[in-house]
Amino acid sequence: MAGTSPAMTNEKLIPNEPRITPELVAEHGLKPDEYQRVLDLIGREPTLTELGIFSAMWNEHCSYKSSKVHLRTLPTQGPWVIQGPGENAGVIDIGDGLACVFKMESHNHPSYIEPYQGAATGVGGILRDVFTMGARPIACLNALSFGAPSHPKTRHLVSGVVAGIGGYGNSFGVPTVGGSVRFHSRYDGNCLVNAMAVGLAEKDKIFYAAASGVGMPIVYLGSKTGRDGIHGASMASAEFGEDAEAKRPTVQVGDPFSEKLLLEACLDIMRKGCVIAIQDMGAAGLTCSAVEMGAKGDLGVTLDLDKVPCREERMSAYEMMLSESQERMLMVLKPEKEKEAEAIFRKWGLDFAVVGETTPGKRFIVRHGGDVMADLPIKELGDQAPEYKRPFVTAPKPEEIKAESVIPPMGIAEALEKLVATPDLCSKRWVWEQYDHIILGNTVQRPGGDAAVLRVENGPKGLALTTDVTPRYCEADSFEGGKQAVAECWRNLTAVGAKPLAVTDNLNFGNPERPEIMGQFVGCIRGIAEACRALDFPVVSGNVSLYNETNGRAILPTPSIGGVGLLDDFTKSASLAFKRGGEAILLVGETTGWLGQSVYLRELCGREEGAPPPVDLVEERENGDFVRALILDGVATAAHDLSDGGLLVALAEMAMASGIGAVLTEAPGDIPAHAHWFGEDQARYLITVPAAKADLVLGRARAAAVPVWRIGVTGGDALTLAGERPMLVKILRERFEGWLPVYMAGELP
C-alpha cells in the first residue's frame, strides 16, 4: 500500500502528517481499488490534503461515477437549448433576448441530520448555481419526501425542512411558488429535499465555469471559511448507519442575508465586465470549484491558502480545501479589473481575495504556509474521474390488476371524502404558507395549482414551473415510472396553457452497488429519455443523489422532474378552479379504470400492488396539444390534469378551489364505478367550457381524433352523482384542508 517513490515535487515533504492507513482511506469513502487508482495515478502515497481532495472529487455526489454513463443517454438538445447539462445550471432561450436558467439539486442527507440547516443550505446552494451564471433568481420550487406520518421523526423533519426552506428563500428574497410533498414509510430513514431555482438573464450575457487564459488571478468571493460542512459531500455519498446523528458537524450552516449581498455583488461585477469565469463553492467547497474551473478550461490551478479569508483560527490546508462554508464563489478575474471588482465587494461588505492563478501545466497545486500540500493532475481529478458501469438487474414487471378484481371497500362518496384527507392528496397549505410566494410581484398563479405561473419582467410572456414524480410507479416498473414522471410534468405545464420547454432532473435512489437499485436507476433513465424525446422536452440540468438508504433499506426510486414552460401571454394562463356555474365539464383522454398502484388501492384497500398505469406518449402529446389550444383560444375557462386519485379527486380539486360544485353524469357501465372514478389512467385532463361552446369543442375533438366526453355541468354546492349521496364542497374542503395542520400540531397519531 505504501508508495513506491518519493514526493513528485522537489519541495520538502510535509512534516507531522498522519500516516495514511487503510482505515483512514476507508473513512474518506474511497474503496481499496479506488485508492490503488490514486497510487497508480500519482506514483506515490498522497498527503493527507491530497487524500481529502480525492475523497471529495471522486465521491459519488461530485463525480457522478455510478451515473455518468447512463446520464449520457438523456436527450439534452433542442432548438431553444443554450446550455445543457455540465454547467452550474441549464440555460434555455425564451425569446426577446432573454434566457431562463434553472436547475434542481438535492440536499437529502444533510436535511435528515439537521433539517433546518440542511434544507436552508440546499436552497442557498441551488440559488448560487443559478446566479453564478449571471441570472437573477426569480423563483424557487421544491420536491419533498418524508417518512410515514406515524414515524417518530417525521413531524420534526417536516417542521425543520419547511422552516429552513422558507427561512432561506424568504430572507434572500425570491418567491417559493410550487413543489410537491409526499409521505411514505420507505423514506423513514432518508427524507428527500430537492430544491429547484429558476432565474432570468440576457441570453448573450451568460457566464460559465471554464477558466481561460494563463496567469489569470483566481479570486475568492463572499463569506469567510470556517469548519462547517467538512466532508458534507462524502457524507452525502454514503448510506446512513446507526451513527447518523453523529454526522451533524458535516451539515453546513447558511446565511441568506450574506447570500443576498453576494448575489448583488456578483451581478454587479458581471455587469462591469470583470468576470472571465465563475463557479459557486458548493459540495466539496474550494476543492471542487477550483478543480472544475481548471479542468473544464484545460488549465492548471495553483492556490495559496494563506490568502483564504477564514473565520476560524489556524485552519489546516485539509480543512480549508474541504470546508463547505456557504455563500462563497470562486472566479477567474480579468486582471485589469481587480480594483473595480474589489471595491464592489467591499461596498457589499463581503470578502474579496486573490487566492491563486491559472497555470499552463495541468496540475492542481495547493500551497499553505510555505509547504506544497497537494500537487495532483487536474483532469483526472475533475472531468476524468473514475466512471463505473455497475451491474444491474431489472425487477420483473408486476401483473396488471383488473378493476373487477378490486372489491370497493366503501361507497364512492365516502371514498372521496376519505381520499382528500390522506397525506399525499391533502392540501399542503400548511407548507406553502410558510413560503413567501408573492415577493417580486410577478406571481400570477400561486401554489395549489397544476403549475406556478410567473410574469416575465413586465410581460407579456409568462413562465410556468412545476415539479413532479410518482415514486410508487417507479418502484413497480422503473421504465413506465420514469416516463410517467416526465409526462406528468409536461401535463402540469400544459394544463396552465404553457408550452413545455425543458427539464431539470433530480434522481434520488438507494445504493448503486446493489444491482436491483442500479436496475431501478437504469430503468427510470430509459423511461425519462424516451418521454423527453417524444415530447421535445430535453434535460438541460440535473443532479443525482445515491445511497439514500438506511441499514440496507432504500427509498422508493424517486426521479424528481422539474419542468419549465413558456406562455407568450401570461394573461392567457388557465387555472383549475371552476369559474362559474352552468359550464360544461369535459374529460379529455381515455379511461380504462386503472387501479394498479393507485392511491385508491393503497389508501382504501391497503394494497401497494400491480403494474402502474402505462404511458402512451403519442396520446399524451395529442391530448395535451388539444387542451393547450383550447386554453390559448380562450375557450377553456378552467383546466386541470388528472393524476393521483383519478377523475373524482380531480373534480373535487376543481370544486374545492372555487366553492362551486358539479352535477356529474353517470359513469359508463363498461367498467366498475370505483375504477372509473378513481383509476389513474394517464394522458387525461378536465376542462370547462361555456355550455354554448361544448358541441363545438366536441366537434373539434372528433376532427382531431382526441377522445373527449361531456361528463357534467358546474354549479351547486356539492359534487352530485346519480346513486350517491351529494358530496358537499364545504365538507370536502374541511377534510382537504384539515389533515396536515392537525397532524403537524401533534394531534393525530
- Interaction between residue 436 and other proteins (CB under 8 A): yes
- Interaction between residue 3 and other proteins (CB under 8 A): no
Q: Which three cell numbers stand for residue 259?
A: 447570500
The β-bridge relationship of strands 662-664 and 718-721 is parallel
- 8 A C-beta contact, residue 424 and residue 182: yes
- Interaction between residue 455 and other proteins (CB under 8 A): yes
Among 444, 642, 655, 711, binds other proteins (CB under 8 A): 444
Nearer to other proteins, 46 or 175 (CB): 175
Given CA atoms 500, 505, 509, 515 in this order, what sign does their dihedral have? positive
By CB under 8 A, the residues from 49 to 88 that bind other proteins are none
Nearer to other proteins, 169 or 527 (CB): 169
- CA–CA gap between residue 485 and residue 473 (Å, rounded): 9
DSSP 8-state code for residue 268: H
CB of 571 to other proteins, least distance (A): 6
- The residues, any chain, with a CB within 8 Å of residue 516's CB and separated by 6 or more, are 392, 393, 395
**Which residue reads 417542521 in cell numbers?**
159
- Interaction between residue 256 and other proteins (CB under 8 A): yes
Nearer to other proteins, 58 or 348 (CB): 348
Q: Which three cell numbers stand for residue 448?
A: 395549489
Nearer to other proteins, 51 or 329 (CB): 329
CB of 455 to other proteins, least distance (A): 7
- Interaction between residue 738 and other proteins (CB under 8 A): no
- The residues, any chain, with a CB within 8 Å of residue 733's CB and separated by 6 or more, are 656, 659
CB of 435 to other proteins, least distance (A): 6
- Interaction between residue 116 and other proteins (CB under 8 A): no
Tell which residue, 594, 687, 723, has the closest CA to residue 646: 594
CB of 441 to other proteins, least distance (A): 4
Catalytic residues: 61, 107
Long-range contacts of 11-17 (CB under 8 A, 24+ apart): 11/371, 11/372, 12/371, 14/47, 14/371, 14/372, 14/373, 17/47, 17/48
DSSP 629-644: HHHHTT--SEEEE--T
Nearer to other proteins, 22 or 349 (CB): 349
- Interaction between residue 224 and other proteins (CB under 8 A): no
CB of 446 to other proteins, least distance (A): 8
- 8 A C-beta contact, residue 648 and residue 416: yes
- CA–CA gap between residue 542 and residue 530 (Å, rounded): 17
Nearer to other proteins, 171 or 185 (CB): 171
Residue-wise over 587-620: b if at least 16 C-beta within 10 A, else e? bbbebebbbbbbbbbbbbbebbbbbbbbbbbebb
- 8 A C-beta contact, residue 564 and residue 464: yes
Tell which residue, 67, 170, 63, has the closest CA to residue 433: 170
Among 440, 635, 704, 731, binds other proteins (CB under 8 A): 440
CB of 93 to other proteins, least distance (A): 25
Among 44, 260, 533, 579, binds other proteins (CB under 8 A): 260
Helices (H), 173-284: 232-235, 256-271
- Interaction between residue 659 and other proteins (CB under 8 A): no
CB of 741 to other proteins, least distance (A): 10
- Interaction between residue 441 and other proteins (CB under 8 A): yes
- Interaction between residue 742 and other proteins (CB under 8 A): no
Q: Which stretch binds other proteins (CB under 8 A): 159-167, 311-319, 320-328, 550-558?
A: 159-167
- CA–CA gap between residue 588 and residue 20 (Å, rounded): 65
Residue type, 606: G
Q: Which stretch binds other proteins (CB under 8 A): 218-226, 268-276, 363-371, 437-445?
A: 437-445
- Interaction between residue 438 and other proteins (CB under 8 A): yes
Number of residues forming the site for other proteins (CB under 8 A): 32
- Interaction between residue 319 and other proteins (CB under 8 A): no
Partners of residue 641 on adjacent β-strands:
685
Tell which residue, 496, 420, 442, has the closest CA to residue 175: 442
Among 31, 77, 241, 257, binds other proteins (CB under 8 A): 257
Among 116, 172, 345, 521, binds other proteins (CB under 8 A): 172
By CB under 8 A, the residues from 384 to 423 that bind other proteins are none
Q: Which three cell numbers stand for residue 524?
A: 427510470
- Interaction between residue 170 and other proteins (CB under 8 A): yes
Measured in residues, the chain has a length of: 749
CB of 634 to other proteins, least distance (A): 15
CB of 620 to other proteins, least distance (A): 31
Q: Which stretch binds other proteins (CB under 8 A): 85-93, 105-113, 140-148, 253-261?
A: 253-261
Among 52, 125, 164, 166, binds other proteins (CB under 8 A): 166
CB of 198 to other proteins, least distance (A): 17
Tell which residue, 377, 196, 182, 398, has the closest CA to residue 299: 377
- Interaction between residue 348 and other proteins (CB under 8 A): yes
Q: Which stretch binds other proteins (CB under 8 A): 78-86, 162-170, 392-400, 553-561?
A: 162-170
DSSP 8-state code for residue 438: S
CA-only gyration radius of the chain, Å: 26
* Number of Cα atoms under 13 Å in the Cβ half of residue 253: 8
- CA–CA gap between residue 20 and residue 613 (Å, rounded): 53
Among 3, 171, 310, 394, binds other proteins (CB under 8 A): 171
Binding track, positions 554-573, relative to other proteins; x by CB under 8 A: ----------------xx--
- CA–CA gap between residue 258 and residue 172 (Å, rounded): 9
- CA–CA gap between residue 594 and residue 598 (Å, rounded): 8
Among 367, 390, 437, 526, binds other proteins (CB under 8 A): 437
Residue-wise over 220-244: b if at least 16 C-beta within 10 A, else e? bbbbbbbbbbbbbbbbbbbbbeeeb
CB of 566 to other proteins, least distance (A): 17
- Interaction between residue 442 and other proteins (CB under 8 A): yes
- Site for other proteins, rule CB under 8 A: 163, 166-167, 170-173, 255-258, 260-261, 348-349, 432-444, 455, 459, 570-571
